Amino acid sequence: MSSERWRVEVTHDCIGSGMCAGAAPEFFKLIEGYAEPVHPEIDPAEVVTDAADQCPAEAIQVTEVGSGKVLAPAD
């Protein structure tokens, strides 16, 4: 079992499109029209990096806890 964890953050650049909450409702919710992660740290989940890559405002950042390596959005 891997001990790797990911940190999920939504920046102030969020435009509230809701694409993340629609694609990964277990990981994102809309509050007052803007996205927020359900949990700031998660076990790795490809659906979260996919949501970050699809965000039209590039407002979702996924990093490895510990190393700080940016996993999404893709460059």
Domains of the chain: 6-72 (3.30.70.20)
Per-chain mean pLDDT for the chain: 95
- Residue that wins the pLDDT comparison between 23 and 75: 23
Mean predicted confidence (pLDDT) in 44-54: 97
Order of all β-strands in the sheet with 6-10: 41-42, 6-10, 60-64, 70-72
User: Is the pLDDT confidence value at 2 over 70?
Assistant: no
Element containing residue 59 per DSSP (H, E): none
Token reading at 11: 């920046």
pTM (two decimals): 0.92
C-beta pairs of 35-39 under 8 Å, 24+ apart in sequence: 35/10, 35/59, 35/60, 36/10, 37/8, 37/9, 37/10, 39/8
Mean predicted confidence (pLDDT) in 32-37: 96
